[in-house]
């Protein structure tokens, strides 16, 4: 295309940006990716991948404890955090290398620099070089934020967790969402004593309340101390310790570390989106339509920089469909954001797809029918562990169409994927009833509910 340097410039080399770059290149586009940091963005470097690695270590710790109860001769396990980090980072380095190989194979140009929009078709690098393309994809992600309270600088954020070389003896986690719940479980399993301070009345707003209440009980049994409806007002440091103060002026005990898991903000400012007239919401998210178009023609956005579902697979799927539309001759290609499954790697994991019971009743009223299965997984029953699972189906109408599947328990992360496909295809309760169970498993509870 005369007068341009590339067909597509991608600002940001995270999961969404790379997915878009690779798909566009596969369609024959000339693509440049501008990324000053490590490839893979939050997910690969300070999110999904290292988080899951730490969760696996924590899960092994729990399994060792259960093994000792079941007759195995198990010495008290000593976790060498630094040794495990070596393996974790080796795994991540392999991902970086794989990305670079794919870029080379697909002819994608990688520029290790920041990109800032100058006009609808021009991006300027940190070094002042201007590049032009008729299509630009914003995929700059987001970053963790601290609350606006006195002393917040004394707390760490979720990114800092991955710099730890050992478990803090006693840690306070502020927040009750995805990240707070996951970090609390990992730290408790790997040697910390964890207190969670949650502003709301329960964990995990947006998940089915019954399951979150059971998860809270599982965490209490596990040793995590929960402080719900906690109005944090300030933080102060006393020597090497950290103290929290609530709205009534009451201080907590002293902690060795404090981690804020109080939300994330989009990185829309670093790419100059507002400067060229791209509409942002009050939180700074880039506004996009159902086709990922921003309010400026030729500029698109995917991932956490938008206000859509903040999950890595969502960013990847949206970017691929976008490039199929722009370069692949599929003018109607777009991501269907309905019924997206998600899992939180708590202990045990919790996952859901579709509507919660509350959402279903709000939308369908008395046409809703709910099925539940509460049980102890076999391993925990054998070891007389108090951990319990809770599975739940939300159905609607005379045909009992399944509109929500909610799983809390061992293996929920692996079980949910297949049932998410079924829900997306419009299954009814009778379809589950007609399916022969696999016994003995936790998964069979989904098809045995009465």
> Would you name the residues annotated as active-site residues?
439
The answer for residues whose C-beta is within 8 angstroms of residue 337's C-beta and 6 or more apart is: 308, 309, 314
Cβ-contact 146, 263 below 8 angstroms: no
Residue 415, phi then psi, degrees to nearest 5: -70, -40
Contact of 385 with 347, CB cutoff 8 Å: no
Which helix (H) or strand (E) covers residue 332, if one does? none
Q: Tell me which residue has tokens 């929500």.
A: 404
Distances from the Cα of 186 to the Cα of 47, 60, 167, 350, angstroms: 14, 11, 10, 15
Backbone angles phi, psi at 55, to 5 degrees: -65, -40
Helices (H), 241-311: none
Cα dihedral 200, 347, 179, 162 sign: positive
In this structure, what token pair is assigned to residue 231? 């109005």
- Tell me the helix, strand and coil percentages in the chain, rounded to 5: 35, 25, 40
| Conformational region of residue 16, where left means phi above 0, alpha means psi within -120 to 50, and beta covers everything else | alpha
193, 223 contact by CB (below 8 A): yes
Q: 234-265 burial by CB neighbour count: b if 16+ within 10 A, else e? A: bbeeeeeebbbbbeeeeebeebebbbbbbebe
Beta bridge partners of 297: none
Which of helix, strand or coil describes residue 72? coil
């Amino acid at each position: 295309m005369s007068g341009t340097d590339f067909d597509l410039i991608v600002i940001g080399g995270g999961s969404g940006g790379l997915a878009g770059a690779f798909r566009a290149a596969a369609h024959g586009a000339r693509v440049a990716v501008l990324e000053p940091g490590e490839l893979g963005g939050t997910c690969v470097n300070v999110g999904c991948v290292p988080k899951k690695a730490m969760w696996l270590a924590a899960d092994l710790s729990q399994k060792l404890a259960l093994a000792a109860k079941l007759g195995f001769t198990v010495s008290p396990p000593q976790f060498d955090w630094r040794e495990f980090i070596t393996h974790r980072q080796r795994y991540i380095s392999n991902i970086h290398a794989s990305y670079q190989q794919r870029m080379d194979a697909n002819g994608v140009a990688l520029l290790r620099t920041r990109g800032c929009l100058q006009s609808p078709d021009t991006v300027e690098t940190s070094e002042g070089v201007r590049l032009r393309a008729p299509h630009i994809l914003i995929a700059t992600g987001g970053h963790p934020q601290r609350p606006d309270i006195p002393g917040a600088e004394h707390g760490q954020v979720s990114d800092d967790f991955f710099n730890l070389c050992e478990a803090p003896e006693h840690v306070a986690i502020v927040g009750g969402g995805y990240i707070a719940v996951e970090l609390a479980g990992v730290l408790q399993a790997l040697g910390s004593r964890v207190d969670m301070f949650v502003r709301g009345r329960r964990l995990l707003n947006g998940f089915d309340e019954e399951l979150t209440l059971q998860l809270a009980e599982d965490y209490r049994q596990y040793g995590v101390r929960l402080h719900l409806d906690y109005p944090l007002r300030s933080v102060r440091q006393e020597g090497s310790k950290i103290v929290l103060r609530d709205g009534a002026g009451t201080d907590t005990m002293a902690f060795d570390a404090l981690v804020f898991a109080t939300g994330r903000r989009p990185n829309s400012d670093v790419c100059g989106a507002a400067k060229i007239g791209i509409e942002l919401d009050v939180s700074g998210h880039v506004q996009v339509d159902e086709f990922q178009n921003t309010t400026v023609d030729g500029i698109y956005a995917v991932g956490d920089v938008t206000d859509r579902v903040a999950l890595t697979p969502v960013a990847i799927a949206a970017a691929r469909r976008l490039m199929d539309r722009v370069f692949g001759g599929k003018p109607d290609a777009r991501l269907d954001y309905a019924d997206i499954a998600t899992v939180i790697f708590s202990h045990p994991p919790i996952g859901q797809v579709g509507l919660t019971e509350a959402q279903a009743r709000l939308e369908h009223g008395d046409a809703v029918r709910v099925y539940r299965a509460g049980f102890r997984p076999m391993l925990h029953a054998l070891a007389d562990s108090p951990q319990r699972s809770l599975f739940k189906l939300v159905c609607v109408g005379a045909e009992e169409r399944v509109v929500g599947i909610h799983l809390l328990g061992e293996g929920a992360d692996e079980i949910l994927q297949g049932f998410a496909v079924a829900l997306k295809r419009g299954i009814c309760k009778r379809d589950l009833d007609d399916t022969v169970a696999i016994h003995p498993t936790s998964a069979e509870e989904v098809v045995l509910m009465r």
